[in-house]
C-alpha cells in the first residue's frame, strides 16, 4: 500500500511538471489530435457518402471549422473590447458615486466616534494621494510591461494557431501514420474519462452561464452586457459560491440604492445560474461532480499559483486525473 501511495505522489509531481513545462510545447498537437477525432466522422461522411475526394474533404472540413471558429472568436472579441471601452468611459461616473458614498460613510464615522468633522475624510484623502503616487511610480511601468507581454502572447498564439491547423491536416491525412493513432488512443484512454470530460463540461457550463448573464445584464440596460457576462461567468468556476461571488454583493448594493428592478434581475440571474449548475453538473461531470468543493477550491488555488489564469481549469483537471489514478491503482 505504501508503494502505491509513493507512486501516486510521484504521479502528482510528474503531472505538475507536465502541465507546467511539457503542455505548452505540445498543446497545439494535443488540440489537433482532439480536433481530428471530433471532425473525423464528418470527413468520412463527405468522402464515403457524398463521393468527395478524401483530401478535398479534409481541406473543406478543416478550413470551414477553423474559419467559422475564427470569425466567431473575432466577433465576440471585438464586441467585448467595445463594451470594455464603454465600461472604462463610465469609470468617472462610478468613481463619483463611490466618492459620494465614501463621504457619507466618513461623516457617519465622525459622528459615531465623536471625531472632528472631516477628520475621517482627510485621512481617506491622504491614503488616496498615496495610492495615486504608487500608481504613477509603479502602475504605469507595469502596464507597459503587460502591453509588451500581450504582444508577445499574441505572436505565440498566431504561431500556435498555424501549427494547430497544419497538424490537424497532417493527422487527418494520416501523414503521421500509426504512431499518431497510437498516441491518440493512449491519450484518450487516460484522459477522456477524467480530465477532458471535466474540461468539456466546464466549458459548456461556462458558455451557458455567459449567455444567461449577458441576457440579464442586457435587461438591466447595461451597455457592456457581453463584457460583463463573460467576466462574471469566469468567476462561476469558483467552487461553492461561483458567480454569487460577484452577483450577491452587487445585489446588496442595488438594494441599498433602491434600484429594485436591477436587484430583482441580479437575484434571478443568480438563481437561474445556480439551478443550471445543479442540473447539468451531475449529467456532464459524472463521478467528477462528487469531488468535495473544498478539494476543488484547493485545486483551483494551487493551479492559479502554478500556472496563472489557466490554472483555474488545469488545477481541477489535475485533481480529477489524480483521483482517477488513485481509484485505479491505490483503492483498486
Give the count of domains, the chain: 2
Q: Tell whether 130 and 63 lie within a shared domain.
A: yes
> What's the confidence (pLDDT) of residue 50?
87
Q: Tell whether 163 and 197 lie within a shared domain.
A: no
- Residue that is last in its domain, among 191, 214, 244: 191
> What's the confidence (pLDDT) of residue 18?
72
Q: Which grid coordinates are listed for 261?
A: 428592478
Tally of CA atoms within 13 A in the half-sphere of 109 that contains its CB: 13
Residue 2 lies in a domain: no
Domain extent at residue 321 = 192-332
CB-count burial class (<10 Å; 0-12, 13-18, 19+) for 280:
middle
> What's the confidence (pLDDT) of residue 326?
66
For residue 182, pLDDT beyond 60: no
Write the CA distances from 79 to 9, 75, 87, integer angstroms.
Answer: 45, 6, 12
For residue 324, pLDDT beyond 70: no
Using alpha carbons, select from 69, 28, 19 the residue that is nearest to residue 156: 28
Q: Tell whether 80 and 204 lie within a shared domain.
A: no
Backbone φ and ψ for 138, nearest 5 degrees, come out as -120, -35
Across 35-44, 84-93, 236-245, 315-324, the highest mean pLDDT is recorded for: 35-44
Q: Tell whether 160 and 210 lie within a shared domain.
A: no
For residue 176, pLDDT beyond 50: no
Q: How do residues 197-230 score in pLDDT, each as one tens digit?
A: 666 777 788 889 999 999 999 998 887 888 888 8
In whole angstroms, what is the distance from residue 72 CA to residue 258 CA? 38
Q: Tell whether 187 and 202 lie within a shared domain.
A: no
For residue 177, pLDDT beyond 50: no
> What's the confidence (pLDDT) of residue 109?
76
Residue 19 lies in a domain: no
Q: How many CB atoms lie within 10 A of CB 331?
A: 8
For residue 269, pLDDT beyond 60: yes
For residue 45, pLDDT beyond 70: yes
> What value does the mean pLDDT of the chain take?
75
The residue whose grid cell reads 449567455 is: 211
Q: Tell whether 243 and 150 lie within a shared domain.
A: no
For residue 39, pLDDT beyond 80: yes
Do 83 and 223 contact (CB within 8 A), yes or no? yes
- Residue that is last in its domain, among 158, 191, 224: 191
Do 7 and 329 contact (CB within 8 A), yes or no? yes
For residue 314, pLDDT beyond 70: yes
Amino acid at each position: 500500500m505504501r508503494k502505491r501511495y509513493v507512486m501516486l505522489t510521484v504521479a502528482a509531481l510528474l503531472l505538475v511538471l507536465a502541465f507546467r513545462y511539457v503542455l505548452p510545447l505540445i498543446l497545439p498537437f494535443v488540440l489537433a489530435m482532439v480536433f481530428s477525432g471530433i471532425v473525423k466522422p464528418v470527413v468520412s461522411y463527405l468522402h464515403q457518402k457524398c463521393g468527395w475526394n478524401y483530401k478535398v474533404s479534409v481541406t473543406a472540413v478543416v478550413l470551414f471549422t477553423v474559419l467559422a471558429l475564427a470569425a466567431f472568436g473575432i466577433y465576440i472579441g471585438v464586441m467585448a473590447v467595445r463594451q470594455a471601452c464603454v465600461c472604462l468611459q463610465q469609470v468617472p461616473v462610478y468613481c463619483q458615486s463611490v466618492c459620494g458614498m465614501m463621504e457619507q460613510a466618513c461623516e457617519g464615522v465622525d459622528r459615531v466616534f465623536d471625531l472632528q468633522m472631516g477628520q475621517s475624510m482627510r485621512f481617506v484623502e491622504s491614503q488616496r494621494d498615496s495610492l495615486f503616487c504608487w500608481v504613477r511610480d509603479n502602475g504605469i511601468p507595469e502596464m507597459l510591461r503587460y502591453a509588451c507581454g500581450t504582444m508577445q502572447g499574441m505572436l505565440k498564439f498566431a504561431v500556435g494557431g498555424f501549427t494547430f491547423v497544419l497538424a490537424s491536416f497532417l493527422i487527418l491525412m494520416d501523414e503521421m501514420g500509426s504512431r499518431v493513432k497510437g498516441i491518440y488512443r493512449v491519450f484518450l484512454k487516460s484522459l477522456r474519462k477524467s480530465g477532458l470530460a471535466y474540461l468539456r463540461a466546464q466549458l459548456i457550463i461556462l458558455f451557458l452561464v455567459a449567455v444567461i448573464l449577458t441576457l440579464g445584464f442586457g435587461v438591466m440596460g447595461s451597455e457592456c452586457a457581453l463584457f460583463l457576462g463573460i467576466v462574471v461567468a469566469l468567476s462561476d468556476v469558483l467552487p461553492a459560491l461561483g458567480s454569487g461571488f460577484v452577483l450577491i454583493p452587487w445585489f446588496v448594493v442595488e438594494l441599498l440604492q433602491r434600484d429594485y428592478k436591477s436587484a430583482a434581475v441580479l437575484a434571478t440571474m443568480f438563481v437561474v445560474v445556480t439551478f443550471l449548475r445543479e442540473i447539468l453538473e451531475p449529467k456532464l461531470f459524472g463521478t467528477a461532480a462528487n469531488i468535495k468543493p473544498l478539494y476543488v477550491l484547493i485545486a483551483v488555488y494551487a493551479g492559479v499559483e502554478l500556472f496563472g489564469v489557466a490554472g483555474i481549469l488545469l488545477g481541477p483537471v489535475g485533481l480529477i486525473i489524480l483521483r482517477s489514478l488513485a481509484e485505479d491503482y491505490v483503492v483498486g
